[in-house]
Structure 1
Amino acid sequence: MDWDRARYLMVEQQIRPWDVLDSKVLQRLFDVKREEFVPADKKELAFVDVALPLPNGNSMLEPKLEARLLQDVELKASDRVLVVGAGTGYLVALAAGLAKQVIGVEIDLDLKHAAEANLLRAGIKNARIEEGNGLAAANPGAPFDAIILTGSVAEVPVVLREQLADGGRLIAIVGELPIMSAVRVTRAGAAFGDTKLFEFNLPRLHSASDKSQFVF
């Protein structure tokens, strides 16, 4: 396969039409080799516009959603970032090129090890992966300028809101089926503002408290 051609088509046919137009985000999509972050048996599907199944019932997000979350959380070069649900490390790698430091938290130990290996191979030096439940307790690295959730939640947990630095942003898919929405939470002192961005249904993060059995 011509990976560079496939990457170009992914950006032009999937990413741009989804209103991802930030030049820095688009450049990261070209710079980070997505095919190196998918399981070997699914490498040919790296640029398909679907969520790819991963071991233990996990999934890798659609490329367009990863790009949109990355753009809409509005990263700056000085930011410290937390990614809850690191998966194979792809979104962590993308964010690492736009921020000062990225911490990915992954509850699945096999995925944690895969993400670490993928980041090492990609030469990413300002990111690390930690094992744990990112929804259960505050990360020792808090506060963060940006937090990205890669699975949905019924509502944004207070423990995550409180880990935002002043001026920090959190982006997550929030709500219940049949309609969920991407929401950006912004902190200003002790106050929090929530902005609905777009509608998208996404499986739950593991351990997310919800009556639904739709899990990520």
Structure 2
Amino acid sequence: MSEYAAARLNMVEGQIRPNKVTDQRLVDAMLDIPREQFVPKAARGIAYVDEDLAIGKGRYLMEPMVFARMLQEVGIDETDVALDIGSGSGYSTAVLARLAATVVGIESDAELARQATESLSAVGVDNAVVITAPLTEGYPQQAPYDVIVIEGLVSEVPDGILAQLGEGGRLVAAVLGDRGVGEVKLYQRSGGVTSARTLFEAHTHPLPGFEAKPKFVF
């Protein structure tokens, strides 16, 4: 077993499984995708650390446990069409591609999007594409989606993104709570109405563009 394969196994057995992640398809996907392929070369030795990992340009790969819990809670079926908002270097898109039928990743930084496309090709992902586009707008051109995942902390989920969910669709995101702590929320669309519930707390880095708008004081 290679050094990285051993690190992936340790990530799953030490971080993922002990934290209520039981979906075997998800576990297999995280064992399969080489996380080191999606980080800067200088950071490959810490690719499997149990915290958010900087990938440059102020962006991060989410902590493996938080990311895995989010994907388990959103419930991805092998026939789903998924939207990955803030795909960064492409790791999240690659994992989603092992679970869903089709994945559209959007990334606002053109260089990160290029790196993501190259890395996805390098690991044999052929059912996903990464597009350069503003993150806060989602990607309505391919809507509706069965699943939407937002890769980072947001002040709120824009209504325009929620509107891209199809009937029965689910969205998962870490949203800044009243106490200043991230709360992973699951949004579900049923009967044309979108409801939300809080799942667990998550300390993750903000996703640029989703900061809270300043309030005017008179």
TM range (shorter): over 0.9
1:83 is displaced (CA, Å) by 0.5
| Separation (CA, whole Å) in 1 of partners of 2:138 and 2:147 | 17
Aligned residues of 2:137 and 2:161 also touching (Cα < 8 A): no
Please tell me whether residue 110 in structure 1 is matched to residue 118 in structure 2: no
What code does the residue aligned with 1:195 have? R
What code does the residue aligned with 2:145 have? F
1:39 is displaced (CA, Å) by 1.1
What code does the residue aligned with 1:175 have? L
| Separation (CA, whole Å) in 1 of partners of 2:61 and 2:211 | 21
| Separation (CA, whole Å) in 2 of partners of 1:72 and 1:130 | 25
1:209 is displaced (CA, Å) by 4.0
Aligned equivalent of 1:124: 125
Aligned residues of 2:21 and 2:72 also touching (Cα < 8 A): yes
**Number of equivalenced pairs:** 212
What code does the residue aligned with 2:184 have? A
What code does the residue aligned with 1:17 have? P
1:163 is displaced (CA, Å) by 0.2
Structure 2 portions without partners, runs of 5+:
none
SS of structure 1 residue aligned to 2:125? coil
**Greater than 3 Å deviation, 4+ residue runs:** none
Aligned equivalent of 1:181: 183
SS of structure 2 residue aligned to 1:150? strand
| Separation (CA, whole Å) in 2 of partners of 1:137 and 1:101 | 16
1:187 is displaced (CA, Å) by 0.1
Q: TM-score, normalised by structure 1?
A: 0.93
| Separation (CA, whole Å) in 2 of partners of 1:209 and 1:5 | 37
Where do 1:2-21 residues align within 5 Å? 2-21=3-22
Aligned residues of 1:153 and 1:209 also touching (Cα < 8 A): yes
Q: TM-score, normalised by structure 2?
A: 0.92
Q: Determine what percentage of the aligned residue pairs are the same residue.
A: 34
1:211 is displaced (CA, Å) by 4.6
Aligned equivalent of 2:56: 55
1:47 is displaced (CA, Å) by 0.8
Where do 1:149-188 residues align within 5 Å? 149-176=150-177, 178-188=180-190
| Separation (CA, whole Å) in 1 of partners of 2:187 and 2:111 | 30
Where do 1:82-101 residues align within 5 Å? 82-101=83-102
Aligned equivalent of 2:34: 33
SS of structure 1 residue aligned to 2:99? coil
| Separation (CA, whole Å) in 2 of partners of 1:206 and 1:178 | 17
| Separation (CA, whole Å) in 2 of partners of 1:87 and 1:132 | 12
SS of structure 2 residue aligned to 1:105? strand
| Separation (CA, whole Å) in 1 of partners of 2:11 and 2:95 | 15
With over 3 angstroms needed to count, the CA separation of the structure-2 counterparts of 1:138 and 1:60, relative to structure 1, is: closer
Please tell me whether residue 134 in structure 1 is matched to residue 151 in structure 2: no
